[in-house]
Each structure stands twice: as C-alpha cells, then as structure tokens.
Structure 1
Amino acid sequence: MRRDPALRSRRHQQHRESRDEQRESDWLSTWQHVYDTYHQSARRDALGEDFTGWDSSYDGSPIPLAHMREWRDAAVERILSLKPRRLLEIGVGSGALMGRLAPDCQSFVGTDLSPVAISGLSAQVTAHPELRRGVELRPQPAHDTNGLRPESFDTVVLNSVVQYFPSGEYLDEVLSVAVDLTAPGGADFVGDVRNLRLHRCLLSAVQARRSEENADRQTLRRAVDRAVATENELLVDPGYFTDLATRHRDVAAVDIQVKQAVHENELSRYRYDVVLTKASSRGSTGLLGRLTGGRRSAGASRFLAARRRSRGPVG
C-alpha cells in the first residue's frame, strides 16, 4: 500500500546491523517533519474517518472507503476483545482507532511522533464530550516513556506503525517498552505488520499489474528484484514474534493472527496482527508462541528486513 508520496520510503537488509543511534535519531527527526507537514494540510474529517493517503500499490488510486473502514473496524474488534480499560496507543496518528476505542475505556493515552498530529487530534477531542474526560494525548516518539508509568496500562496498541521504524533494534526497544508499560496479565496489540514472508508475492502481483501485457517472465523478475532491492520499510517475519517469547522473560504468550476481511486487498493479504500477553507474575515463564500455519524458531535477526542505507525517508 502507498501512503502519501512523501511517506513511500523503503528500507531493506537481510541481517542485523550494529545499532546506530544517531542514524535512528536522524530517521525519526525526518519522519517527524514528514508527518508534521502531512498533518498540517490534512483534512479534518469526522474522527476516525480520515484515510487520506491510503493509496493502492497496484495503481496509485485511493483504497476504497469501504475497504478502509473494514480494515479499521477489524483492528478495533480485535483490540476490544482484549477488554481494555486503561489503554495506551503508540502512534495514535489521526485517531482512526481512538474514536472507537476510547469510549469503552476508563482511560486512553495516545502518543505520536508528530506534535502537529497531536494538536489536531486534541482539537477534535474537545468537540466530543464523551472523550474529554478520559483521553490524554502526548507528542513523543514510540521509545519515549516520559510521563508513562510502568505497568500502568492493561493494553498497549501499536497499529500500522512498525513499518516506519528505523531498524530492527529500534523495534526490539519499543516492544520492550510496551511490555514494561503493560500490567501483569495485560496484552500488547501489534497490528498491521508487513509480512516479510509474503514480500515477493506482493511485489510480483504489483509488477504484474503495472507491466505491459506482453511482458516476459525475465522482465517481470528483474522488476521484482529491483523492487525488493529498493524496499525501505521494515518488514517482519511472523517468526520474529514467536521467538520473542524466548527472548523476553515477561512475554508469556504470542498469538499471531491472519487478517480476516470480506474485501481482499494488499492490507488483508500481506499483513498480520500480533497479540503479546504479559506474564501474570515474574515467576511465569514464556510459553510457545502460537502461529497459524507457522513454526517456532530461534534467533531474531533473520526474521527482519531492516533498512540498508543510512539516509532517511525518501519519496
């Protein structure tokens, strides 16, 4: 799927690099500028109804509104099944999920890298009396725990944000932060993760749609190879999450969920959701992760396709 043209940055690498925190900081600063610019000019649609920039990778046209609403509602349904009362959403964005989750929670805290996004969302919250009392919005990046107390949330949500992280190591850090902020027995919902296993399948379908009718296999294969080589988003094999239960002492269970949708599109075919359950006590040990159609594996680095180049996002 293509977001706003400025957001179509891609990153790819098959092995873990040594962590470069300065590069990660530069990456986040660049993304903050991108999102600030985007939200400054974004439409102020009804809360949870702004899907501007969600464009098809196949032909660049906007993904139909009915498809986007189904995508949003499916995420909301899965999160509400966790029975959240004190919820933190990391990467709250334009509030696509917040408008439907917050009314069912005692408290809802939303953070986002973009202060402009938080400002715009705050203005919308003031127009909804049912949200004013229990909603708090904070401009801060995903790894920043300033003002957030450990184990103070029963549910932490990161939906459709992992692909914009600067590295696999940063993903490790943010997930550790999320688990630390979650109360014992609570859950972390990591949604809309781009599936590394299906990456070539998606790109093959995209290139086949874009190519001339008489294009031969070699031409298509070269086009797919180029697309793979220039991919600059963070893609994650489901095995990364099943392996997490052995690498993080507080993760008791991992449930990887395939997308279920009436409307078939790149969001339902090539992405998945994950629920991490936090151990109910420090004495609990991690359980085998559950992966429909998958398998347990050791070692995390080979499950990530992280950014190759040191430059920041490009259009």
Structure 2
Amino acid sequence: MQNRSIELALLGVLALLWGSSYMWISLALPSFPPATLIAIRVSLAALALLAIMAARGIRMPLDRQNWKQFFIQSLVNSTGPWLMLAWGQQYAGTAVSSVLNSTSPLWVFAFSFLLLNHGERPGARQLTGALFGFAGIVLIVGIGALEDIGRNLVPQLVVLFGAALYGIAALRGRVFASLPPIVPAAGTLICASVVLVPASLIVDQPWQLTPDTTGIVAALTLSLACTALAFLIYFRLLSTLGAMGTASQAYLRSGVGVFLGVVFLSETLDLETFAGICLAIFGVVLINWPRAVKRQDVSAPVSAAK
C-alpha cells in the first residue's frame, strides 16, 4: 500500500508538472516562436537526462531495435501531439482543445481492446472512472465549450488525434519494461530533438531572437522540470500504474491549471469548476483503485506466486 501511495503521489507530481507547462509556455512564447520553444524543450531535457545517466553510469543501448522503438515513441508521445496541439489550438480555441486533449484515458481504454490480451485490459470500473474524469474536465473548462465542437472541425480533429497518440504512447510504454525509466525517457527526447531542432532552425532562424529573462527562465523550467523530470516520472509510472493509470493524469492537469490561476493570478473558483475538480479526482481514484487479488491456496509453493 505504501508503494502505491508513492506512485499516486508521483502521479500528482506529473500532473503538476504538465499542468503548469501551459503557464511556462505562455511566459516563454513572447521570446521564442512555438517550433523553437518545443525544440529547446526537448533538446535541453535530453541533455539533462544524459548528464544524469553519465553520473549514474547508465549507458544508452546501441542496438537498432531499441532506437526504432524510441523514435516511434517520440512521434506518438511528444513530436506529434505537441505540434498538433500547437497548430490546432490556434483555430479550435483553448477551451475546446482542453476538452479534446483530455480524452487520452478514453483512448487508452479503446485501444486496449485492440492491442492487449483479455486479462490485461482495463475493466468497467476504470471506464467509469474515465467517464467521470472527462465529465469533470467539461465542468472545469465550462459546458459552453461543447457548443463550439464541430465549428472548426479539422483543427479539432487534429487536437483529438493528438490525444489519441497520447493513448497509443501510454500503451506502447510496455515495450520499455526491461529498461530503467531514464533510458526510454532520454531516448525518446533525443529522437524528438533530431526532428524538432532542424525544423526550428529552418522555420524560425532562432539565432536572430533576443529573448528576455522571463522567457529564458520559463524555457529552462519547461525543459528541465516539465519535460526531463516529467518524462522520467512518466516512464516509471507506466511500469507501476500501467497505461490507464498513467494517462489519468490528464484529468488532474486542468485542476492544476485552475489552482495555479487562483494562487498566482488571483482568479476565482466558482462552484461549477470546484465540482469539476472533484469529479476529475474521483475519476482518477476509480481508475487507479487496485484490482482485487484472488486468494491463492495457502498450500501453493511461494515460487508459484512470483
């Protein structure tokens, strides 16, 4: 139980890191264009994780198969969703994008029936939790946001597809089960950097930028805390809480955003938003509630339970 409490605490930390990333992005964007900011985010995070690995004597694998898996993971877990959200949110609107982007636990549930064996699939309780969490997000963002769904269909579908990629990424995390969490985290970010850094050099010509102190601090925080540390926690949780449990942090991110707004921006917390946060938390609890373990025959040898 204590170990699970630690993992749930880490889930909260992950939600805090990724939930606060929107604030850091908004502070950094006046200094850095989107493509360059994302490139800085992934490249500095990759360097930070590589430095930690060097200090701990951990080496990256050199075989082609692992790097192929890292590259695919980078496409579905960072490069693809981040670029899709950055483009789609401009036209779909922030509120609708927040709702659509929070559907990743529902995508995990749907894709699990295509990719997992029967005994590994999430059950009815987890589906109920996913639906409660999604309802909470709708209340947090505002029910009025649903009225805009379908008005800018293509950008909204792009944001929704990005959320689906998050679901695939969570389910794919099992292929890295034999590696320390820091290895796939670093490998994924390295592969993302290989794509995004050249793109930013071509599109933005960042050597001409003159960022201010606020933008630099925000970019560093986004890279080191919201990406390097967050990815390290993410890959650990995939092996402890599983895909559905890890994806449930999507329901906590909006609550984190509201909390930061109340604390730092003097925003108010209305009843509808508070109810949404409670529903989202309840959904996360349902998703991560441990399954009942069948009682084994006491006469069975200990090794049979390993």
More helix by share: 2
Greater share of strand: 1
Structure-1-length-normalised TM-score: 0.24
What TM-score comes out, normalization by structure 2 length? Answer: 0.25
